[in-house]
Amino acid sequence: MSEHRSGAEERSSRVTGDPSPSLLAELSSLTTALDELTSRVAAIAEPLAGTEDDLLASDLFEVERSLREAVRRLAHARATRRD
């Protein structure tokens, strides 16, 4: 019987087994992906603000804020890892 591993398990084993530069590269890649998602969410939310979909815009702006916080936390993690 073959063993199936989830993507998270694959990434976890890859990251924990790699030297520091690979870990920093992975964190950098995650930061880039979150930045792109943040921009996409904002681009969807902005035209909805002040329309009948204003509640949706508000929710999306909250998602945008959460993604920005995630980017800040990743930046902190990267800085901490370099020490």
pLDDT for 23 = 87
Break the chain into its structural domains and give their ranges: 20-82
**Mean pLDDT across 73-80:** 90
Question: Which amino acid, 53?
Answer: D
Tell me how far apart the terminal alpha carbons of the chain are, to the nearest angstrom.
43
| This model's pTM is above 0.75 | no
Query: Is it the case that residue 49 has pLDDT exceeding 60?
Result: yes
Q: Are 48 and 56 in contact (CB under 8 A)?
A: yes
Write the pLDDT tens digit of every residue in 18-46. Answer: 447 888 889 999 999 999 999 999 999 99
**Mean pLDDT (the chain, rounded):** 84
